[in-house]
Homo-oligomer: A and B are copies of this chain.
């Protein structure tokens, strides 16, 4: 099976945005063993969209088109597909009703222009949009199947996951590229590569790639075989050896994020958590509250950006801040104790530090103190994070979440100042 991805949008040709949709869809198609042979990008010009789609439908079995499904006059992907498939646009009453309902639920009148989104090439299937107003389309043109999805990444991803991938996989049949991602926090990329080097030396299947960023390293193993199961079997023993060598810095195999691991462990242990945050500005709370049902384990966070707020909300003593500094072990510990008391939780995690670019209360950028407090734990560590403001903040979040993970998993708690 040959697939092709067509991006529609003048903003891509002007270089205002990169075609990250094509990258994401390609990655998903590779996972199910489908070869993508071409990407194309074309502007909001009907003649040229038709030209590109005709060529794509002639040389590929599956064409995924992103963009141009919105309600405005520059959204002309519907018209172009109708022309290529020789299937005139027809207004679908069910979509019209769905659109009206959607606007009604939002308490708004629907602009007339949105009605264009109810126009569908005759005989086309529709892909439901769970996040926006533009329905997706499935249209047959010659021997090819064209899937049209919105250019808004969240809407595109939902439709590709819900409909495009299952349909393509059903036709593509068994063949698979398996990929496993081993996520680590607390060890540097170069050290990880050193530890694993001999396992992959000269290997072309499976292959290994190291991706560092966001205060963690992802080790990605990829194998190709006649079926996903076979490809998985190629990866399995290697992945186990990788895990064995890396040990407890591995926090997840797959897509689970660090905060999701912490949330799962909190739920399993029946424990509750709260935060006291300074430099992270609510970032740890946002991550701990990201999952549905988070309120069963997450009670809240005191984002205390000023010394006065640390004192007023968490009862951090002014003497402590004066004597030891705002960025200090003592302040972090008092913040954690305060959060545990105020939010009435089993575990509290606190951060105080200097995100930069200027020093904070004498502490150079990247200096952070993190404290964890519970009925069976009272731990504090310093962190020295590298990089700019955003990097320091991200590393601080990672270090705080990893402290929770390690405590909940009964692992030794780090005392050194380096995250990796």
Which of B40, B71, B284, B388 contacts A40, CB < 8 Å?
B40
Q: What is the chain B residue whose CB lies nearest that of A343?
A: B309
For residue A344, give the distance in angstroms from its CB to the closest CB of chain B: 6
Q: Assess whether A269 is interfacial by the CB under 8 Å rule.
A: no
Interface status of A213 (Cβ within 8 A of chain B): yes
For the complex, count residues of A whose C-beta is within 8 A of B. Answer: 126
Contact B305 A14, beta carbon cutoff 8 Å: no
Residues of B within 8 A of A309 (CB): 274, 299-300, 342-343
Contacts of A270 in B (CB 8 A): none
- A18 interface residue (CB < 8 Å to B): yes
Given contacts A113-B194, A313-B343, contact A26 B14 (CB under 8 A): yes
**What is the bound-complex CA distance between A394 and B414, given in angstroms?**
35
Cα A346 to Cα B308 with chains together (Å)? 15
- The smallest beta-carbon distance between A111 and chain B, in angstroms, is 4
Q: How many copies does the complex hold?
A: 2
Are B24 and A15 in touch, CB under 8 angstroms? yes
**Are B292 and A281 touching (Cβ within 8 A)?**
no
Interface residues of A in 284-332 (CB under 8 A from B): 284-286, 288-290, 292-295, 298-306, 308-309, 312-313
Which residue of B15, B28, B102, B190 contacts A30 across the interface (Cβ within 8 Å)?
A: B15
* Given A18-B19, A343-B312, A384-B107: A70 touches B189 (CB 8 Å cut-off): yes
Q: A130 and B194: CB pair below 8 A?
A: no
A277 to B28, CA, bound (A): 36
7 A/B residue pairs, CB under 8 Å, sorted by A: A55-B55, A73-B193, A73-B200, A112-B194, A282-B289, A292-B357, A300-B305
